[in-house]
Amino acid sequence: MSVNTPAVRAAARIVWLAGGVGVLLVLAAIAIAQTQSGSRWNGDVPLYDSYAGALLARTLGRTDFLSVYPPLALAPITLPRLISGDPPVYAFLFAVEMAVTAAALIPVASSTAARWPQLAGSGGAVFWLAVAMVLAAGILPWRFDPVPALATAIALWAVAAGSPALAGGLLGFGTALKLYPAILLPVVLAWYAVGRDWRKATGALIGFTMVVALGFGLYLLFPGSDLLHLLRMQGGRGLQVESVPASVIGVAVVAGGIPAPSVVFETRSYNLVGPGADAALAILSIAGPLLIAATFGAIAWSFGRQAKAGNWNPTALVMALTATLLALVLARQVFSPQYLFWMLPFVPLLHGAYRPTFAIILALTGAIFPFLYDGLLRFDAVPVLMLAARNGLVVSLFVAVMVWLIRNPARSA
């Protein structure tokens, strides 16, 4: 039987494209790491190397790893260390590992789009995903966030394929890697529940619970560390210079309205210190939960209208997942560049201006970090205004997705 069919040829093209993007990510990451800015702001990989070495030497308990990351994050950061303990080799192997992981998003997105014709076409989704990854090439291979992003991408594919337990399990796997996928579980459960498919909702919940229990059960191997400790550390972080409130303060500084606040390095990030930062944190403590609650309310409204109209458009699910992650980023006092990777599995599947807007956001982020980051810390006008533009576009993208959820889901696809 011939295997030279249109479907096989299309799959081969996707695989070749994914491989090409993976190679490009590695080459771009290595080239940028050779620059002065790229080498200066590439601190996470040496940390990963030290943590992996501590794990293999059975001294992890003497580090702060489990106060910063969930225990399952040890898997992707330790894998390259099993091959080599030489720091430059480890960095190269880690970049390859993350590039391969990120490139795997391409066939997953293509398959998801093919299963749900209401989404953006497979070709368009693949194109915009490849564009997004190339624009993020200076950051993408140096963080382990592509791993939970791939887990959420496959979870969405599992929903499309009718495998709720797998979808829930993958969200649980992502949660044990980076915490944030946990906030996507209520969206998936609501998708099933509004359609009165309680069996699938139960399957997703059981799959999630089992994997999370196994992942966080690793804390038992490290006495003195637990999930509450991790959550307290994350919740107690300062106002990072890249966050939305910090960018507002930065614009006020550039405009001459206020003096420049102090910038200190604490809790793994550069944070603003002063009355303005304290006020922003106080506002976020109230506005953040309200923003997330409003997002879940809009999602419930959207799904309810779909159920009433009898028109199940999976675009609403992708919009809801995107809105939830954007709300989480906007509601927090920390906005690290890798947080944008969380949206990679979803935004390329959407129609309209969402995808080019996201591409511009990534382009601005890649210019600021690492190349203009020193200037941002000094409150130079160009990086401050670029960050304000980036954050303004993130807010605009969130508003546009929310408007779609509230207004459009009852229409036919």
Q: Contact, 66 vs 137, CB < 8 A?
A: no
Asked if pLDDT for residue 3 goes beyond 80, the answer is: no
What is the amino acid identity at position 274? G
Count of structural domains, the chain? 1
Q: What integer pLDDT is reported at residue 412 of this predicted model?
A: 42
| Cα angle, residue 104 at apex, residues 102 and 106 outer, rounded to 5° | 95
**Per the domain annotation, does 412 fall within a domain?**
no
Place 257 in a pLDDT band, splitting at 50, 70 and 90: confident
Q: What integer pLDDT is reported at residue 42 of this predicted model?
A: 65
Asked if pLDDT for residue 312 goes beyond 80, the answer is: no
Q: Contact, 186 vs 296, CB < 8 A?
A: yes
Q: What integer pLDDT is reported at residue 4 of this predicted model?
A: 67
The domain of 81 spans 6-407
Query: What's phi and psi for 269, nearest 5 deg?
Result: -155, 160
- Collect all residues with Cβ–Cβ distance below 8 Å to 197 and sequence separation of at least 6: none
pLDDT in tens, 119-157: 888 888 999 999 999 999 888 899 999 999 999 999 999
pLDDT in tens, 44-68: 899 999 999 999 999 998 888 988 8
Please tell me the pTM assigned to this model.
Answer: 0.94
**Per the domain annotation, does 372 fall within a domain?**
yes
Q: Contact, 81 vs 53, CB < 8 A?
A: yes
Asked if pLDDT for residue 410 goes beyond 60, the answer is: no
Asked if pLDDT for residue 400 goes beyond 70, the answer is: yes
**Per the domain annotation, does 1 fall within a domain?**
no
**Per the domain annotation, does 345 fall within a domain?**
yes
**Per the domain annotation, does 275 fall within a domain?**
yes
**Per the domain annotation, does 307 fall within a domain?**
yes
Q: What integer pLDDT is reported at residue 310 of this predicted model?
A: 74
Q: What is the mean pLDDT of the chain?
A: 91
**Per the domain annotation, does 59 fall within a domain?**
yes
Helix (H) or strand (E) holding 273: strand 269-273
**Per the domain annotation, does 26 fall within a domain?**
yes
